[in-house]
Amino acid sequence: MEKNKQNDGCSCEHLNGVKCDVTNCHYHDKDCFCTAGHIEIGPHRAFSSADTVCSTFKPD
């Protein structure tokens, strides 16, 4: 995935197109983007978005 620099003065980089609303995640920036170097989504089989979780989540 391509990383983009934000234009709001933050030196953080975010994953292009990956938004996140989990404000207590270490990788969450102030504009609801993910700054992790990569993301992992699971489990192996899901039938809807409610069945998935972000395995990259790291509490702040």
DSSP state of 25: B
Q: What is the mean pLDDT of each run of 10 residues along the chain (60 residues)?
A: 44 80 92 91 91 93
User: For residue 2, what pLDDT is reported?
Assistant: 46
pTM of this structure: 0.68
In degrees and rounded to multiples of 5, residue 19 shows phi and psi of -95, 150
